[in-house]
Structure formats: C-alpha cells, structure tokens
Amino acid sequence: MAKKGTLKRISGPVVEVKDLDDAKLYDVVRVGEEGLVGEIIKIVGGTSVVQVYEDTNGLKPGEPVENTGQPLSVELGPGILRNIYDGIQRPLKDIEAKSGYFIRRGINVPPLPRDVKWDFKAKVKPGEHVKMGDVLGEVQETELILHKVLSPYEGKILNVKSGKYTVEQEIGEIEVAGKKKDLYMYQKWFVRTPRPYTEKLAPLIPLVTGQRVVDTFFPISKGGTASIPGPFGSGKTVTQQSLAKYSDTEIVVYIGCGERGNEMTEVLTEFPHLKDDKSGKPLMERTVLIANTSNMPVAAREASIYTGVTLAEYYRDMGYNVALMADSTSRWAEALREIGGRLEEMPGEEGYPAYLARRLAEFYERAGRVRTLGSDERYGSISIIGAVSPPGGDISEPVSQNTLRVTKVFLALDASLAQRRHFPAINWLKSYSLYKDSLDEWLRANVSDEFPGMRDKAMELLQKESELQEIVQLVGPDALPDREQVILLVTKMLREDFLQQNAYSDVDAKASFKKQNLMLKSIMTFHDKAMHAVDIGVQLKRIQGVPVTAAIGRMKEISEAELPKFSELIKEIESDFAQVAKK
C-alpha cells in the first residue's frame, strides 16, 4: 500500500509534508502530482521536512506526497562508464532523448541501460561458497575496463551461467542463511553509507600525476586527499582535467558540482575528445561525469558528491585505482547553506551550517587505499582532489579552512602565475604536502636514492630566490654577489624549464618520475658546477654564457623513449664547466 502524505508548506527546494506514513530519515519521496524526487532530511512530530531534487515552481499545498520507503541510492553495475549523470544519477543523454534539451520535471529514467545485453562470463561454479565482495563474473564494460560483478551476499552458489544478459535479468541464484536469493549484474547502494572494506592501508605509494610541481614537490599518495583552492581564472578546472587525464589511475569520476554552465559544457565537450595517454583510446572509456551546474536545483548539488564517491567506491572494490575530481566543494557548501537557511537552522560562520566541517570530513574520509572485501587479495584506492572556490581568493573563509584541516595536500593556485601563462599555476612557496616524508622510501627504492635530497635542495633554492627578489627590486640583480646571482640563474631554470609545463604538448604535458629525476639532476648538477666555478674565481659572465644553458632549456622536449639523452646532457654540463675552469 502506498505511504502517502500531504504537502503542507513550500519554501524553495525545502517542503513540509504532514501525515506521511512510516516516514524515516533519508527516505526518498515523490512530491506532488508530477512525482518530483525528494529526500526526508528532518522529522518534527507528524511533519516531515523534504529537500526536493527538482524545481518546485508551481507546487501547492494539498498535493500528495508518496514515500518510497528507501533511502537515496545509486545503481551499481555495467553501463556506468562513458555516462553523464546529474546529481542523483539520472542519465542526461537518455533524458535528452526522452524530453529534449531541458529536463522535464518528474521524469524517471533508470540510471543503467535496460536494453543493453552484456556478455557475462561466470567465475564461480555451483556449490562454491562465496563471501560478500567475491567476483561472480566479468563483463567487458568498455574497451579499457573489465567490469567485475561482485557478490552482494555471503552464501552458497546454487547456479550461475555465462551468457548475454541485461542488468535486470537473473544470472544465477545463491543460498543465504537457508533462503534462496536471485543474483543480478547490478545492485543498489545507499549513497550516504560508505561501502565496506577489509583494511585501510597506509599512504606509502604515490599517485603519479605527470605534473612535475605536484609529483616532485607536493606529492599525493594513492588513496590520498588534496585540495586546490584558487580565485576565478587561476586554472582549477584545467589543473583537475590534467590530473584526471595523466594520473596513473584506471577510473576517473569527475563531479561538476555547482559550476557555471559554460565551464561544465567545456568539460562535457572536451572529455569525450581527450585521448587516454596509455592506450590512445578516448578517455571517456574509463570516465564517468556527474554534471550539476549552478542553475540546476540546489538540493541535487548537495547529493552529487555522495553519488560520485559511491560510484568511485564501487570501482575501488573491483581492485581499481580511482581518481575523483570534485569541482567545486565551495558550491556544494553553498547548497548546504541555502538548505540550512530554509530549515531555519542556527547559522555558523559566514552563514554556513554548524555541521559544515563534519560533512566535509565525512566526504574526504571516504578516500583511501584499501584491501577490498572478498576471498582473494584485491587492493583498490580512491584519491579525492577537491577544488575550492573561495570568494575573492580569500582562503581564510570557512570552506577553505575546514577543507585544509582534513586534506593532506594543499595546491595553492596563483592568479598572477596563470596570467603569465605559467601552467600549472601552482605557487610552490604557498603549497604543501603532508605525504612527502611517508613517500620518500618508495621514491628511494623506485626512482633514485638522490631524489628526495635533490628535491629538498631545489626547494631551498626557490625559497632563497624569493628572499633575493626583494633585494633585486631595490638595487637590481647586478648588485648581488656572484653566488646569489648563480642562485637566480638556477632558480630561473627550475621555474621555466622544470616547474612550467605545456598542457598542449604530448611530450611535455606529462612526465614520469624517471624523467623528473633526470631533469632535476641536470639542473642541480649545473648548480653544483656553477657554485664550484665561482669558488675557484671564474667570472660570472663566463658561467652565465656556458653553451649548455640552451640545452637545459630544451630538455623538457626529450620524450620518455629518449631518456638516455639526459646522461649526455649531464656529461655536457660537466665538460662545459671543465672548459670554463681551464680558461
């Protein structure tokens, strides 16, 4: 029997419903004659307060409200990848086919395609005992990703068959605690409940992003958290796109949370044309996009990050490494603030709800590298990189400060660097990473024993350059001693030849750790030889004029296949300074 109530009060996306039978917190309801999707967020006596995920214009008191009795959930199964969803997992392409370019209110389209038959290959046999999270079978979801169908139960397999099925067709049966249950290729999961795992692992493996300023100076671990605050026009979206495209993850979940329509349109048009760096296939083959622009209903924006992170956890449980981009959590927090105001809650700092910090922490806590459920040893990770858009670039505001408390990497975007066409526009003096020390052991074992030491020495030089620039602005560079002028020469190489990358160059857009190590070693070798030359009395002009300086400026054009050329470059540096010392 339908559990119905009656609309009592309407305040934008928040409505009050009286006499709703069997109402529970976070139940999904259908509001009004058109059946708008909503969620119960507060219950006071016999009145249920509902946030509606669709436009509430035209609703009136007295309209019926029906309780589904189920919390807000997503469908997990083949067909997620290559899709573009809104904040509550409604496929926008299917909605367009059904209602045109504008989303019709109350439209109900299943998240996963019901007419597609997937080629299911069973990996278990009748009579086997399986645990929750065990792989029942596999489906080739896209050319790049093998989808593993996971068991939602622990029990004894009664039957399971390979074949072509839709997600709604039964693939087998399982006996759970003496009861027979049907098995399907998809399952439902409540978005506000994190998916379980066996063990959370320490952050000891780096997420290789291909961006030298990140990997070398401010590394992110696999399963780590990072925030990218920056003012308008500083390159948050471009930086996140680069991290999505070049990071060594198998799955990308990109959440456009309350961003401007033109920025989200750019993402939606760019991503399908981006090529996966490893395979040459379209990046969308391993990507899912969640689009919830600033003109879409504000309540769905609040739900969008939970939808995104639940999809990410599902692929993590298959043993994949997932990169989740949230752009931007500031717009998500604004949705919380608006809904809190409609609920007449006591506001906290700058009008944000008092539970803002807790909600942010709960979201970022769902990142991590884990050992998944199941009998076999599978390891997966979710790395969450959230953009923050502080008004006027002021990171002292509550969203930025609460984000910095829970994330371990702070990539400070600088509008002045972006205006100078320095990409990525990450300020190396304001950023930090708390993973750096824990990742040093991996870097020594897999890159070079010298790498952490060279990195620290290079950062000291960049900090010294900042101090020297104040003197240079007063008296000019020629007034500095020779050693300080060498520091300025070397830090210019670090800034222009190492930290700056060309996002549109196939060779320079990304760099492996081996290439980063060799580039840094070339510059630091130049620094050591130049300092030695100053110490033995070589004139500064002769140091500045060594021919190898031009070769260092071209080293970013060396491809991954040509890395042996760096040993020739280092020999050339040593040879040039030997010649200078003789003269």
Structural domains in the chain, CATH included, are 3-71 (2.40.30.20), 115-185 (2.40.50.100), 199-434 (3.40.50.300), 451-582 (1.10.1140.10)
**What are the residue ranges of helices labelled H in 328-475?**
329-342, 356-364, 398-406, 415-419, 436-446, 451-475
Inter-helix orientation angle 261-270/236-246, to 10°: 20
Q: Return the SS3 of 87.
A: coil
Residues of the chain with pLDDT below 50 are: 1
CA 120 to chain centre: 30
Question: Ramachandran region of residue 32, left (φ > 0), alpha (ψ -120 to 50) or beta?
Answer: left
Distance CA(80)–CA(91), nearest Å, equals: 9
DSSP state of 103: P
Distance CA(59)–CA(32), nearest Å, equals: 7
Beta-bridge mates of residue 410:
227, 432
Note whether 185 and 165 are within 8 A (CB): yes
Instruction: Write out pLDDT tens, residues 454-467.
Output: 999 999 999 999 99
Residue 328: is the preceding peptide bond cis (ω within 30°)?
yes
Tell me how many degrees the CA angle 136-139-144 measures, rounded to the nearest 5: 130
The pLDDT value recorded for residue 2 is 54
**Cβ contacts of residue 12 below 8 Å, gap of 6+?**
56, 298, 338, 342
**What are the residue ranges of helices labelled H in 130-223?**
212
Distance CA(230)–CA(245), nearest Å, equals: 20
Tell which residue, 257, 220, 245, 139, has the closest CA to residue 382: 220
Backbone angles phi, psi at 120, to 5 degrees: -90, 130
Residue 203: is the preceding peptide bond cis (ω within 30°)?
no
Q: Return the SS3 of 485.
A: helix
The pLDDT value recorded for residue 1 is 45
Residue with tokens 């367009």: 96
Tell which residue, 329, 499, 496, 484, has the closest CA to residue 429: 499
Distance CA(302)–CA(258), nearest Å, equals: 9
Distance CA(339)–CA(357), nearest Å, equals: 16
Burial (CB count within 10 angstroms: exposed 0-12, middle 13-18, buried 19+), residue 361: middle
Instruction: Write out pLDDT tens, residues 168-217.
Output: 999 999 999 989 999 999 999 999 999 999 999 999 999 999 999 999 99
Rg, C-alpha atoms of the chain? 27
Burial (CB count within 10 angstroms: exposed 0-12, middle 13-18, buried 19+), residue 376: exposed
In this structure, how many other beta carbons lie within 10 angstroms of the beta carbon of residue 170? 13
Q: Check the CA dihedral 79-80-84-85 and report its sign.
A: positive
